[in-house]
Structure 1
Amino acid sequence: MKRLLLNGPGALAWEETAEPVLSEPDQALVRPIAVATCDIDPAVLRGAFPLPGPYPFGHEGVAEVVAVGDEVRAVRPGDRVVVPFQISCGKCGPCSRERTGNCASHPPLSTFGLGTLGGLGWGGLWADLALVPHADAMLVPLPPGIDPATVASASDNIPDAYRAVGPQLADRPGAEVLVVGGSAAPSIGLYAAGLAVALGSDRVVYVDRESERLAIAAALGAEALDGDPGRELGRFPITVEARGGGEALRAAIEATGWDGWCTSVSVQFEDVALPVFGMYNRCCTFHTGRAHARPAIPAVLDLVAAGRFDPAPVTTATVAWAESAEALLETPLKLVAVR
């Protein structure tokens, strides 16, 4: 079979490799049919994210089940499924607490398509076939009527955005939301804005400096403002930082109101001094870290199936499978490849 290999910044190539085979009764073989770039992928391809190759590429996608082990009951060949990017058993302590990104049954950070960071043995989803362990626990059937390309990022980036606004809006219905958008986590910030609108926030403000992202935020129903968050916007019960850097992180925290909740979905490569005294006085909760994607995927798919949330505006390029390598090197905001 063929798979896409990242050899380093700006270097992608298709390679022939042996097909994976079922070796455990809880496994499934899947054929990716719509795969998407994660927000870190363009940065990796530009050499801005420290994840050198070579490694099998791709960790977001929808696939068709090809074969299943004898113990698999939740899916069968022919089913279309979202493949979570993190490897999780569904049974250990962390998984039982919905902390599937920290599954205790496998080495820390085990994921598809993230090289040595996630373990080379899992392979990538930009491939003709992928082997999925713990298929009943991991794979999420795609509801009828949903285009796989629309939710190709339901493996990672959309659930990442959901965790930043979904639980908070469930606790505080109608609460206003501020998203500090930017280049560190561009699609996650946009998905967060769109999900907040879908979940009934009374006001969703998306602040950014880039016209393409501002237009997408407006298309998702958010109030799109060009520039930086400032005091004139007031404070918000829920804030999301997706721009990266200490300045943006501090601005998002300063914009978080009394008993508010701020989530940083970007990766901070340097230590950042936080305004802890103000956070203390306002009883402000700050959360950062990797998303636990698997538990949020059904909620995301339900919103899409119900017509309440359409992630499609965030996709800025859709290409045929054979054109993937060339299109990826152009590093669009969100690329989806289909076959």
Structure 2
Amino acid sequence: MASINQLTFIKPKQFEWHEVPAPTLQNDGEAIVKPLAVTRCDLDLYMASGMYPMQGPFAFGHEIAGEVVEVGDGVKGFAPGDRVIVPFQINCGACDNCRRGFTNACTSVEPFAAYGFAPTGERKWGGGLSDLVNVPFADAMLVKIPDAVSITGAAAISDNAGDGYRTVAEPLKQRPGADILIVAGLAQSVGLFSVQAARALGAGRIVYRDYDAGRLAKAKALGAEVIETQYSPDLRATEEFPIVVEAAGLPDALTFAIRSTQPCGICSGVSAGMSNQAKVPLRSMYMKGITYTIGRVHARTEIDHLLDCAHCGTINPDDVITRSVPFSQAADAMMDPDIKIVFERD
């Protein structure tokens, strides 16, 4: 039986390269893709360090761009040699949720089915830091990479760049040209992708708050006004915004983000933080009439929207990437503090 190499998460701070059976086509609608670039998701860093606990072992890496090497007889839109984005969530494209754009909740597979995470059902989907991955619904999932988009930028579009985009896209449809506040922190690249998307979509002022000097410098380079901020329980809003993005993943930052949202404004949460519980000031939100949204990105749905901006040059995900590392060094570099690492095939 043919085999491949796969970066495997064993436990926090421990990764190993394992030889595992090569994925094969199991039906005529599938494809086999060779990952060429895999960006480190913000969450990957915290799974690797143990801040976000996950039970190993499982294949690692889920922001994938690569090349199709084999397709089933039923695949109509792709052929070997195509450069493609592989959305990290498994979705069929045909169930009611997928047709409505809710591709993070496909009912054809087990809940939370995705590459690069501990499996939630019988099937293991593998990870991007592998020689090959199986794409079960090739025509629905895969997206060809436009010539204007790099393979490294395409990898980021499979998750974090799309997550940043969705935090501002819908609110700006409701309030074109509105000012935006980004309360940033642990979701370190998503907050910066929110800056990119806000500029591309015509936001007014874009104010970026963070406690990290490197991210503040990057946000300024991307066109935001920056304010160094240490989040604390008594931090009061100095200004209110109609649109707020909470990308810090910290309880005090969430409170501050809601305090900074104008009456009848919109606050979008990127993550639930590192704890199973968080205090949400519901009474204050009720009195101000705030809309607060939180949830995993619908990765496949957002890819098309984001590629429109990337293709015409208003968004370049490569501007957020801070370091390139060969696949072979991925285990050693996984916990480096860089904002956004891309692993490229040696």
- For 1:55, the equivalent position in structure 2 comes to 58
2:142 to 139, 142, 153: 139
- For 1:167, the equivalent position in structure 2 comes to 170
Dislocated runs of 4+, deviation >6 Å:
none
- For 2:101, the equivalent position in structure 1 comes to 98
Tell whether 2:225 aligns with 1:220.
no
Tell whether 2:36 aligns with 1:33.
yes
Deviation (angstroms), 1:96: 1.1
In the alignment, the residues of structure 2 paired with residue 86 and residue 297 of structure 1 have an alpha-carbon distance, to the nearest angstrom, of 12
Deviations 1:41-94 (A, max 9, x none): 111111111113111111111010111111111221111111001000111111
Deviations 1:302-327 (A, max 9, x none): 21111101222321210122222222
Tell whether 2:340 aligns with 1:337.
no
- For 1:196, the equivalent position in structure 2 comes to 198
SS in 1 for 2:67: strand
SS in 2 for 1:224: strand
Deviation (angstroms), 1:119: 6.7
In the alignment, the residues of structure 2 paired with residue 233 and residue 202 of structure 1 have an alpha-carbon distance, to the nearest angstrom, of 18
- For 2:325, the equivalent position in structure 1 comes to 319
Deviation (angstroms), 1:6: 1.1
In the alignment, the residues of structure 2 paired with residue 120 and residue 330 of structure 1 have an alpha-carbon distance, to the nearest angstrom, of 31
1:281-292 equivalences in 2 (<5 Å): 281-292=287-298
- For 1:20, the equivalent position in structure 2 comes to 23
- For 2:255, the equivalent position in structure 1 comes to 250
SS in 1 for 2:325: strand
2:312 to 272, 290, 306: 306
- For 1:84, the equivalent position in structure 2 comes to 87
In the alignment, the residues of structure 2 paired with residue 119 and residue 275 of structure 1 have an alpha-carbon distance, to the nearest angstrom, of 39
Contact 1:87 1:138 (C-alpha < 8 Å) held by counterparts: yes
Contact 2:159 2:299 (C-alpha < 8 Å) held by counterparts: yes
Deviation (angstroms), 1:333: 2.4
Deviation (angstroms), 1:231: 5.1
Deviation (angstroms), 1:271: 2.5
Letter in 2 for 1:203: R
In the alignment, the residues of structure 2 paired with residue 97 and residue 326 of structure 1 have an alpha-carbon distance, to the nearest angstrom, of 41
Q: Report which stretch shifted further, 268-277 or 15-24.
A: 268-277
- For 2:279, the equivalent position in structure 1 comes to 273
2:155 to 146, 152, 156: 152
Letter in 2 for 1:24: N
TM-score, with structure 1 as normaliser: 0.95
Deviation (angstroms), 1:243: 1.0
- For 2:213, the equivalent position in structure 1 comes to 211
Deviation (angstroms), 1:152: 1.5
- Segments of 5+ residues of structure 1 without an aligned counterpart are none
SS in 1 for 2:248: coil
2:68 to 65, 86, 108: 65
Q: Report which stretch shifted further, 44-53 or 79-88.
A: 44-53
1:74 to 1:171, Cα distance in 2 relative to 1, 3 A? farther
1:261 to 263, 266, 274: 266
Contact 1:237 1:261 (C-alpha < 8 Å) held by counterparts: yes
SS in 1 for 2:262: strand
Q: Report which stretch shifted further, 317-326 or 160-169.
A: 317-326
Deviation (angstroms), 1:330: 2.6
What is the number of residues matched between the two proteins? 338
TM-score, with structure 2 as normaliser: 0.93
Deviations 1:268-293 (A, max 9, x none): 31433322233223321101121111
- Segments of 5+ residues of structure 2 without an aligned counterpart are none
Deviations 1:227-278 (A, max 9, x none): 1586564111111111122211111111111221111102231433322233
Deviations 1:7-39 (A, max 9, x none): 111111211111111111110100001101111
SS in 1 for 2:154: helix
In the alignment, the residues of structure 2 paired with residue 120 and residue 224 of structure 1 have an alpha-carbon distance, to the nearest angstrom, of 45
2:240 to 217, 235, 254: 235
In the alignment, the residues of structure 2 paired with residue 117 and residue 44 of structure 1 have an alpha-carbon distance, to the nearest angstrom, of 16
